[in-house]
Structure 1
Amino acid sequence: MSIRLIGLSLAAAGIATAQDPATADSIRELLNDPNSDVAKLAKQYAGKSGGNQLFYFPTRDEPATPRMWGLKYESVDFKSADGTALHGWFIPAKSKTPQTAKGTVVFSHGNTGSVGHHLGFCVWLAEAGYNVLLYDYRGFGKSGGSVDRRGMIDDVKAAFAYVRKRPDIDPEKLISYGHSLGGAQSVTALGESPVKGLRAIVIDGAFASYQAMARIIGGQLGASLVTDELSPRDFVKKLTPTPLLVVHGTRDEIVPVSQGKQLYEAAGEPKTLFEVKAGRHGTALSNDNGAYRKKMIEWLDGVMKG
């Protein structure tokens, strides 16, 4: 029985018994008992940090392309620092040339599926006058390699290194935008290695700590299988003085809003918080006919003109 199967089995049991308080309490007690048979079995198979891999749910499919959204795009290939081949799409700003765009957004997606699953999070930026580079980390989509926390953070850096070398964009007008895991990884990557020309950082539904998320999902058992190395809470302060926008829905069912607020509180100035009432993990920016998308564009336009 694999550690992933153990985790998924416990999650399924939790969902199936959610309406039975007594059973739900029993499951929580099991997850919080580091000496239970399940805990011993999980540690035997996973080891101290084997649970790190449970954060990632990559696929190799391509369910959609920017063309399906009525946008021109270019397939691009570049390499991470260790030589891992990475794949992405470059979408030029609609109704503008790449050179005359307001800026270029590097979008880092969440932890499920391939890049084609995440177009709805960023194509509207091209319609608002921004170039967009979106890409798959190692182990996702058409990118090579296999998932790995250190390597995937380096992949974020590689995306910026690639876009800075493009002759058709202004390398002094770069923006980082990451959703969920992408936001967390971007904070760490940019905190470790500041990018010349980076004008703004946006994170949506990001978490502060890997262990905290493991504890939320899998109790003390989950936390015991995951390390907290390279967690964004340890790097967010280093983003200063680049303006930071933290977006988080109050009803986020995956990453509690407290995680986003923890990042916001730990960050230095200048910083802005959009706490979206009733926003869920994937809808904070799309709720109410995209009310917060408009606010984000206004924020970006202001930063880029400043």
Structure 2
Amino acid sequence: MKLVKLEMVNRECAAARPWLYYVRLAAFFIVSLLLVLYLTFAPAVNRDFYNIRVLFKPVRCESVRHLWYGRQGEDVFFTNRAGKRLHGLFFPGSGSRVVLMHHGQYGNLQDHLALCGFLLKGQNSLFIYDYSGFGLSEGSPTVSGMIDDAASAYECLTGRLAVAPESVVHFGASLGSGPAALIAAQRTCAGLILFSPYTSLKDEARDVFPFLKIYPDCLLTDCDFDTVASVGKLTVPVFIVHSIDDPCISIRHSDRIYTAARQPKSYLRIAGGNHCLTLLDSVQAGTLEFINLRTGKASSRK
């Protein structure tokens, strides 16, 4: 009797084994599919999608306007380390400071001149350039390419355009705050201005797209800007402007950057503003005062 029962149990188990096999096979394919999707949507793997669709919004053009706010800009073409030809506009002035502008993620330098034309008030010089893939600049935008572009713009300004390094004031707006802080920390300059900056691209990406929190740092990007670390190395004056209600980059980023910065430093926290603060009279006045009165009192490195 016991042998009969044991044989029946064995038959039932044997009958169940095919189902167990298919369940395991289905589980394997589901896990494999999820892993493929996980890696496919990782920013470090799918760089082209995130660079073009999310991070950069370039607009190319065939020509640029040269007369802005009564100042005549001069075309400046220079080459980055990748061999791509970049374009900038230089507005020479008789003042003691030269503002090197690193603009944000969208459009081209014309869009940002329209917003930051107040920098042309007075006698200071201004050099604004387009990253690779923007405006008249060749190539395609990437994070590592931005570093190369920013360094090449600084070298052109202090080399071919013969501007004294200690007179350069870096101006980084939004996405441009990362390369502005990095180059300021690496090269001699007079000061650093940051409008709506971020602590790092990884931090900002996780703020904007919470689902990216499932990815470790190595799968977010192979290159990043550590603005907190860069600013912490500076001994030149730092000026930060950020809206408390910024819909794009949380003011928490500026709070951390300001804490990391050494003296002398200034922080303008704007109530009720948005991401674009350059049209506010108080912001314009504070920025121009910083450029003209507070920069150039120390070197940029330890």
TM-score by length of 2: 0.77
Compared CA separation, residues 44 and 204, structure 1 to 2 (3 A): same
How far 1:253 moved relative to its partner?
0.8
Q: Trace 1:113-124 onto structure 2 (pairs within 5 A).
A: 113-124=107-118
Q: Quote the RMSD (CA, aligned, Å).
A: 2.6
Could you tell me which of 250, 260, 276 is aligned with 2:244? 250
Could you tell me which of 26, 43, 55 is aligned with 2:39? 43
Q: Trace 1:256-275 onto structure 2 (pairs within 5 A).
A: 256-275=250-269
Structure 1, residues 112-139: CA drift from partner, whole Å, max 9, x if none? 1111111134322222221100000112
Q: Is the 8 A contact 1:107 1:177 kept in 2?
A: yes
How far 1:303 moved relative to its partner?
2.0
Q: Trace 1:147-296 onto structure 2 (pairs within 5 A).
A: 147-166=141-160, 169-191=163-185, 193-195=186-188, 198-221=189-212, 224=215, 226-227=220-221, 229-238=224-233, 240-282=234-276, 284-287=277-280, 290-296=281-287
Aligned to 1:82: 82
TM-score by length of 1: 0.76
Q: One-letter code of the match for 2:118?
A: W
Compared CA separation, residues 68 and 173, structure 1 to 2 (3 A): closer
Q: Is the 8 A contact 1:180 1:205 kept in 2?
A: yes
Compared CA separation, residues 201 and 40, structure 1 to 2 (3 A): same
Q: Is the 8 A contact 2:65 2:110 kept in 1?
A: yes
How far 1:233 moved relative to its partner?
2.4
Q: Is the 8 A contact 2:240 2:268 kept in 1?
A: yes
Aligned to 2:11: none
Q: Is the 8 A contact 2:166 2:296 kept in 1?
A: no
Q: Trace 1:24-63 onto structure 2 (pairs within 5 A).
A: 41=37, 43-44=39-40, 46=42, 48-50=44-46, 53=51, 54-61=54-61
How far 1:49 moved relative to its partner?
4.4
How far 1:50 moved relative to its partner?
2.8
Compared CA separation, residues 265 and 69, structure 1 to 2 (3 A): same
Q: Distance in 1 between matches of 2:46 and 2:260?
A: 28
Compared CA separation, residues 170 and 40, structure 1 to 2 (3 A): same
Q: One-letter code of the match for 2:40?
A: Q
Q: Is the 8 A contact 2:232 2:260 kept in 1?
A: yes
Q: One-letter code of the match for 1:233?
A: V
Compared CA separation, residues 184 and 125, structure 1 to 2 (3 A): same
Q: Distance in 2 between matches of 1:279 and 1:223?
A: 32
Compared CA separation, residues 47 and 229, structure 1 to 2 (3 A): closer
Q: Distance in 1 between matches of 2:272 and 2:79?
A: 39
Q: Which runs of 5 or more residues in structure 2 are unaligned? A: 1-30, 298-302
For the residue of structure 2 that corresponds to 1:201, the secondary structure is strand
Correspondence 1:132 to 2:87: no
Q: Distance in 2 between matches of 1:156 and 1:223?
A: 31
Q: Distance in 2 between matches of 1:292 and 1:68?
A: 20
Q: Is the 8 A contact 1:245 1:271 kept in 2?
A: yes
Q: Which has the larger radius of gyration?
A: 2
Aligned to 2:67: 67
Identity rate, percent: 25
Compared CA separation, residues 281 and 38, structure 1 to 2 (3 A): farther
Q: Distance in 2 between matches of 1:145 and 1:65?
A: 21
For the residue of structure 2 that corresponds to 1:75, the secondary structure is strand
Q: One-letter code of the match for 2:231?
A: V
How far 1:255 moved relative to its partner?
0.6
How far 1:168 moved relative to its partner?
6.1
Q: Is the 8 A contact 1:236 1:266 kept in 2?
A: yes
Q: Which runs of 5 or more residues in structure 1 are unaligned? A: 1-34, 94-99
Q: Is the 8 A contact 2:100 2:128 kept in 1?
A: yes
How far 1:66 moved relative to its partner?
4.1
Q: One-letter code of the match for 2:55?
A: F
Q: Distance in 2 between matches of 1:184 and 1:168?
A: 25
Q: Distance in 1 between matches of 2:74 and 2:92?
A: 9
Aligned to 1:101: 95
Q: Distance in 1 between matches of 2:70 and 2:101?
A: 19
Q: Is the 8 A contact 2:243 2:251 kept in 1?
A: yes
For the residue of structure 2 that corresponds to 1:215, the secondary structure is helix
For the residue of structure 2 that corresponds to 1:128, the secondary structure is coil
Aligned to 2:20: none
Length, aligned pairs only: 258
Structure 1, residues 41-84: CA drift from partner, whole Å, max 9, x if none? 36325564435523111111369624154321101101112322
Q: One-letter code of the match for 1:74?
A: E
